[in-house]
Amino acid sequence: MELYSSYISRLIGELSVLPGIGNKSAQRLAFHIINMPKDKVENLAGAMIEARNNIRYCKCCYTLTDSEICPVCADEKRDHTQIMVVENTRDMTAYEKTGKYEGVYHVLHGAINPSLGIGPGDIRLPDLIKRLQSVDAREVIIATNSSIEGETTAMYISKLIKPTGIKVTRIASGVPVGGELENIDEITLSRALDARVEL
């Protein structure tokens, strides 16, 4: 027996596919949205559609942005010879919040994970190698997560870049093993950056 109308069931179904949203959370969100004023729902829907239609990858670092080049890459005051490699835009944002890093980034949009069939060509790794061939980089800081996938990705990147003569460093272990960068406080991230080690 159908508990809700088809519209409510569809809304719950659509919300439940979002990461971290189970069926109960989807139900709560659905009923909250239904009880919101109509103009607020339209604003929410409009913001989602506009973001989806207008957000793209920065053509330099591949973070998500609404312009051809993101504000970090466009900033001439940043040190463009120092590139920090992160798994996703949220990790980049976490480092930006520290206010301590003055270089630029490269966002992989994932990590190597053979068990899921994700190889080096499935993330933005070829784009990093191409970028390093066209810029005068002096250091690549690998700031992937301290997970098995993050460590695998870090070692792979190190093996690719070291022969080029570019200095390769890894953020220090102030970041706990298995920890996600986006959930770590700014002080810990700053210390990890300061204590990075050459690979």
Separation of alpha carbons 81 and 87, rounded Å: 19
Output the CA–CA distances (angstroms, integers) from residue 83 to 3, 24, 119, 159, in the order listed.
Answer: 53, 42, 22, 16
pLDDT value, residue 14 = 94
Separation of alpha carbons 135 and 47, rounded Å: 36
pLDDT cut 90: percent of the chain above it: 75
Could you tell me the pLDDT band of residue 175, with boundaries at 50, 70 and 90? low
- What CATH number has the domain bearing residue 11? 1.10.8.420
pLDDT value, residue 22 = 92
The 10 Å Cβ neighbour count of residue 170 is: 23
Q: Are residues 99 and 179 in the same domain?
A: yes
Domain range enclosing 124: 59-198
In a domain, 67, yes or no: yes
The average pLDDT across 105-115 equals 95
pLDDT value, residue 181 = 74
Burial 2-16, CB ≥16 within 10 A → b, else e: eeeeeebeebbeebb
178-199 pLDDT, tens digit per residue, is 667 777 777 677 767 777 767 7
Which residues lie below 8 Å from residue 87, measured CB to CB, with a gap of 6+?
107, 108, 109, 110, 111, 144, 145, 150, 153, 181
pLDDT value, residue 157 = 95
The average pLDDT across 79-103 equals 94
In a domain, 1, yes or no: no
pLDDT value, residue 193 = 79
Q: Are residues 36 and 108 in the same domain?
A: no
Count of the separate structural domains present in the chain: 2
Please check the confidence at residue 1 and state whether its pLDDT lies above 60.
no
- What CATH number has the domain bearing residue 75? 3.40.1360.10
**Three-class DSSP category at 183:** helix
Of 29, 54, 79, the residue that ends a domain is: 54
The mean of the pLDDT values for the chain is 90
79-86 and 139-142 beta bridge pairing: parallel
pLDDT value, residue 173 = 62
The larger pLDDT score, comparing residue 159 to residue 181, is at 159
